[in-house]
């Protein structure tokens, strides 16, 4: 059985960054990628707007991916594409990973640490219990994006989009440019799910109506989709009477959320945070399973790929430290709790014996605020405060607390005091 220091699962933005970083830190690394090519979802994101934070310039998805791919091809990472990880076992502190591909069949490798950068999958019609019929023509937006941008096929001519996540917004513009008529986008929440720039550039600029506080209440069509109905919802997300609007469409795209794709881990167990549907991690991005790390959309859903890259770099740094025995065992855990106005924060726990190193918190506000202050508290005392402007649930915030600021003894509380 081949042995590696670190196995990285998934060769999208996160996996490329993590594998290359771990290689640079002297680790023997293997990278497994399900698709025949590296780059993951970036390959289908042919629009621009990537890289502003990480590369300090504006790139398309494939350009962003290509930079990372060029780097990894110059590295010593063992790359296996068109290869699916099947299951994981842990024996004597090491992981064995069974994978399969058309060249080797099923094989098993061993690794001291695993970094999960397997991305996410799209929430489906069933997942949101979409009412109505099940004709052909209802697709998740990312799948339709792949068909259009990679496979080269249009799925519809008259389109409605449910959910204003970034992929839905991007697809509204993309389908319009390809000649389809996008009749509208409905969002059940009172605010858009995607980035403000995408609402402006993909909907407003193309006169595509955005129906906030609306959801799809009916899907019609026997074999092929014929139409949908949307209606307004109140604060409790209950449909308001007599607010229905009907649209004749042959396609309904769903952009109703992404879910970390970590459901196929077999015998290796770890705790899940119901707020993120991803793993609970400490400041090293280590899950509750020793040696199992997670980053990128496999951990929690990001709005910017730059943040996926940067989080994966941090996770790789820590995974390498773990392999080298530099991360102390997790004997004293410090819990991180969040106030009402924060929907979630990572890490959820801190290794109390590793607090001499800085901690990066990633978090999202529950509401939009003109400005606000994030307070990091311990025993009721504020130990750090971060002022931010234009806080928005769709945009992830990062708070870096320097080493030595957080004490080992008691829980950490993160609070957001916002004002409109």
Partner 1 sequence: MKDFLIIGAGITGAFIARELAKYDVDTVVIEKESDVGNHATLANSALVHSGHDPEANTLKAKLCVEGNAMYPDLAETLEFPLLKSGGLLLAGDDERKALMDKYRNALDNNVPSVRWFERAALLEREPGLASRVAAGLDLPTTMVTFPWEVAIAAMENAIDNGVAFHKNTEVTRIDQESEGFAVHTDRGVFRAEYVINAAGAFAERIAAMAEEEPPFRITPRRGEYMVLDRRNEGLIKHALYPVPSEKGKGVLITPQTHGEILLGPTNTAQESLEAVPTTKQGMERIKTGAGSLLEKIPYEETIRTFAGVRASSSHEDFYIQPSKADERFIHVGGIDSPGLTAAPAIAAYVVDTFIRPRRPLDSNPHFNPKRKTKPLYKTLDDVDKNARFKADGRYGRIICKCERITEGDVVDHIGRTLGATSVKGVKKRARAGSGLCQGGYCEGEIIKVLAREHGTSPLDIDYYEQGTPIFLKETKVKP
The residue from 223, 235, 331, 340 that contacts partner 1 (CB under 8 A) is: 223
Q: How far is the CB of 200 from partner 1 (least distance, A)?
A: 26
- Pick between residue 63 and residue 133 the one whose CB is nearest to partner 1: 133
Distances (CA, A) of 216 to 228, 322, 356, 417: 7, 48, 50, 34
Interface pattern 135-164 for partner 1 (x via CB under 8 A): xx--xx-xx--xxx--xxxxxxx-------
Q: How far is the CB of 130 from partner 1 (least distance, A)?
A: 8
The interface with partner 1 within residues 88-117 (CB under 8 A) comprises: 100-106
- Pick between residue 258 and residue 412 the one whose CB is nearest to partner 1: 258
Kindly state whether residue 325 participates in binding partner 1, applying the rule CB under 8 A: no
Interface pattern 20-49 for partner 1 (x via CB under 8 A): --------------x---------------
Kindly state whether residue 244 participates in binding partner 1, applying the rule CB under 8 A: no
User: What value, to the nearest 5°, has the Cα angle with vertex 199 and ends 347 and 186?
Assistant: 90
Window of 17-25, 213-221, 295-303, 319-327 that interacts with partner 1 by CB under 8 A: 213-221
Residues whose CB is less than 8 angstroms from the CB of residue 121 and which lie 6 or more positions away in sequence, other chains included: 258, 259, 261
Distances (CA, A) of 189 to 129, 203, 214, 242, 418: 17, 17, 7, 19, 19
Kindly state whether residue 86 participates in binding partner 1, applying the rule CB under 8 A: yes
d(CA 279, CA 296): 11
Q: How far is the CB of 389 from partner 1 (least distance, A)?
A: 34
d(CA 115, CA 387): 32
The residue from 126, 331, 387, 419 that contacts partner 1 (CB under 8 A) is: 126
Kindly state whether residue 270 participates in binding partner 1, applying the rule CB under 8 A: no
Sign of the torsion formed by the C-alpha atoms of 176, 306, 344 and 374: negative
- With contact defined as beta carbons under 8 Å apart, do 386 and 366 qualify? no
- The b-or-e profile of 53-74 (16+ CB within 10 A means b, else e) is ebeeeebbbbbbbbbbbebbee
Kindly state whether residue 219 participates in binding partner 1, applying the rule CB under 8 A: yes
Kindly state whether residue 127 participates in binding partner 1, applying the rule CB under 8 A: yes
Q: How far is the CB of 153 from partner 1 (least distance, A)?
A: 4
- Pick between residue 48 and residue 143 the one whose CB is nearest to partner 1: 143
- Pick between residue 102 and residue 242 the one whose CB is nearest to partner 1: 102
The residue from 131, 209, 404, 409 that contacts partner 1 (CB under 8 A) is: 131
- Pick between residue 277 and residue 318 the one whose CB is nearest to partner 1: 277
The residue from 57, 70, 73, 178 that contacts partner 1 (CB under 8 A) is: 178
The residue from 27, 65, 125, 317 that contacts partner 1 (CB under 8 A) is: 125
Supply φ then ψ for residue 110, to 5 degrees. -120, 145
Q: What is the CA radius of gyration of the chain?
A: 22
Residues whose CB is less than 8 angstroms from the CB of residue 200 and which lie 6 or more positions away in sequence, other chains included: none
d(CA 160, CA 163): 10
Q: How far is the CB of 265 from partner 1 (least distance, A)?
A: 11
Kindly state whether residue 233 participates in binding partner 1, applying the rule CB under 8 A: no
d(CA 360, CA 203): 34
d(CA 61, CA 49): 8
- Pick between residue 83 and residue 284 the one whose CB is nearest to partner 1: 83
CB neighbourhood size of 270 (10 A): 17
First to last CA, the chain: 59
Beta bridge partners of 227: 220
The residues of the shown chain that bind partner 1, judged by CB under 8 A, are 34, 82, 84, 86, 100-106, 121-122, 124-127, 129-136, 139-140, 142-143, 146-148, 151-157, 178, 217-219, 222-224, 239, 259, 261, 263-264
């Amino acid at each position: 059985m081949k042995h590696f220091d670190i196995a990285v699962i998934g060769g999208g933005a996160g996996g490329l960054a993590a594998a290359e970083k771990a290689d640079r830190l002297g680790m023997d690394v293997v990278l497994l990628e399900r698709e025949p090519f590296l780059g993951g979802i970036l390959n289908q994101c042919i629009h621009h707007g990537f890289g502003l934070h990480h590369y300090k310039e504006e790139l398309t998805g494939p350009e962003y991916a290509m930079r990372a791919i060029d780097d990894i091809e110059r590295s010593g990472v063992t790359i296996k594409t068109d290869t699916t990880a099947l299951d994981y076992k842990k024996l004597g502190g090491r992981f064995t990973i069974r994978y399969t591909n058309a060249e080797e069949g099923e094989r098993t490798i061993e690794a001291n640490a695993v970094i999960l950068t397997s991305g996410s999958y799209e929430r489906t019609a069933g997942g949101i219990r979409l009412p109505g019929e099940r004709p052909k023509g209802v697709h998740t937006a990312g799948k339709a994006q792949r068909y259009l941008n990679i496979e080269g096929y249009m799925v519809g001519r008259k389109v409605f989009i449910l959910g204003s996540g970034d992929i839905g917004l991007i697809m509204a513009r993309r389908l319009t440019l390809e000649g389809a008529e996008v009749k509208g986008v409905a969002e059940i929440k009172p605010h858009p799910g995607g980035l403000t720039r995408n609402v402006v550039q993909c909907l407003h600029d193309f006169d595509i109506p955005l129906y906030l506080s609306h959801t799809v209440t009916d899907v019609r069509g026997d074999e092929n989709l014929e139409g949908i109905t949307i209606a307004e919802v109140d604060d409790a997300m209950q449909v308001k009477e007599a607010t229905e609007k009907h649209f004749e469409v042959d396609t309904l795209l769903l952009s109703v959320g992404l879910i970390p794709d970590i459901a196929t881990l077999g015998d290796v167990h770890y705790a899940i945070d119901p707020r993120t549907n991803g793993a609970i991690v400490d400041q090293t991005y280590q899950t509750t399973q020793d040696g199992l790390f997670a980053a990128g959309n496999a951990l929690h859903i990001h709005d910017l790929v730059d943040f996926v890259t940067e989080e994966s770099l941090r996770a790789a740094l820590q995974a390498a430290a773990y392999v080298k025995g530099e991360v102390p065992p997790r004997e004293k855990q410090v819990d991180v709790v969040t106030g009402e106005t924060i929907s979630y924060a990572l890490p959820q726990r801190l290794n109390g014996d590793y607090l001499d190193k800085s901690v990066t918190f990633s978090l999202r506000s529950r509401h939009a605020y003109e400005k606000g202050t994030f307070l990091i508290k311990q025993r009721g005392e504020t130990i750090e405060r971060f002022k931010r402007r234009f806080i928005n649930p769709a945009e992830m915030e990062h708070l870096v607390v320097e080493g030595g600021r957080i004490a080992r003894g008691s829980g950490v509380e993160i609070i957001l005091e916002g004002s409109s």
